[in-house]
Amino acid sequence: QVQLQESGPGLVKPSETLSLICTVSGGSISDYYWTWIRQPPGKGLEWIGYIYYSGSTNYSPSLKSRVTILLDKSKNQFSLKLSSVTAADSAVYYCARATLWFGELLPMDVWGQGTTVTVSS
Amino acid sequence: DIQMTQSPSSLSASVGDRVSITCRASQAIGNDLGWYQQKPGKAPKRLIYAASSLQSGVPSRFSGSGSGTEFTLTISRLQPEDFATYYCLQHNTYPWTFGQGSKVEIK
């Protein structure tokens, strides 16, 4: 049973870079799309982007200039970096898996528990 | 971006009721839609994929229908554990976009 676990600082200063890691256990990182989603306090869900096992990425245009998602196959981990953060980036950040189903990419069947990141000085 | 509009935004219902939530897309998305359930403090859980396919392990009282621009999530007989917020998600066009959520509360 694959499990995902987010880790990283819970507090980031404005203008700095938010960095999170998602560790994948109980399964292979191969052949899946690894995704980040966030949810500001009391608000809805926002898709940030994903990375495929091959290393190809797809980012939300609204965040593309500030986002980098990387994959570390040796550690079965993928990561999120969000630069130049402001208070608007405060949210619960989730990592999740997307899968191929008969050649079609289906979003997020397995999720991490989420980690809260607050942007404040 | 494709806008996903859910209705209602909230509803009150009783155990045993039949509940339906609608999700409308600002442009046609085929059947590229999923439904998620989220309880307070927890990660979302996928209920439905490809508009009408039931996720393994999800009770059969949940069903999805629709294609194109209008989709529906139906809970046939509401159970106490179903009180939660429900989100639709389109993955036809990037960026993937969620509806704003529909909160199902106890009457």
Amino acid at position A20, single letter: L
pLDDT exceeds 90 at position A3 = yes
State which residues of chain B have pLDDT below 50. Answer: none
pLDDT exceeds 90 at position A103 = no
Grouping H, G, I as helix, E, B as strand and the rest as coil, residue A75 is helix
**Average pLDDT over chain A, rounded to whole?**
96
- The count of CB pairs under 8 A between chains A and B is 55
Residues of A in contact with B51 (CB under 8 A): none
**Residue A108: what pLDDT?**
93
pLDDT exceeds 90 at position A101 = no
Degrees to nearest 5, angle at CA B65 with B39 and A43: 30
Q: How many C-beta atoms lie closer than 10 Å to residue B102's C-beta?
A: 23
Residue that is written with structure tokens 């059969």 in the block: B60
Where on the phi/psi map is residue A87: left (φ > 0), alpha (ψ -120 to 50), or beta?
Answer: alpha
Pairing of strands B102-106, B10-13: parallel
Provide the 8-state DSSP code for B82. G
Nearest CA in chain B to A62: B95
**Residue A104: what pLDDT?**
87
Closest approach of chain B CAs to the CA of A47, in angstroms? Answer: 6
**Residue B90: what pLDDT?**
98
Chain B interface test: which of A3, A5, A37, A47 (most B C-beta within 10 Å) = A47
Round the CA-based radius of gyration of chain B to a whole number and report it: 13
Chain B interface test: which of A58, A65, A94, A108 (most B C-beta within 10 Å) = A108
Confidence label for A31 from pLDDT (cuts 50, 70 and 90): confident
Contact A45 B44 (CB under 8 A): yes
Q: How do residues A39-80 score in pLDDT, each as one tens digit?
A: 999 999 999 999 999 999 999 999 999 999 999 999 999 999
Q: How do residues B45-60 score in pLDDT, each as one tens digit?
A: 999 999 999 999 999 9
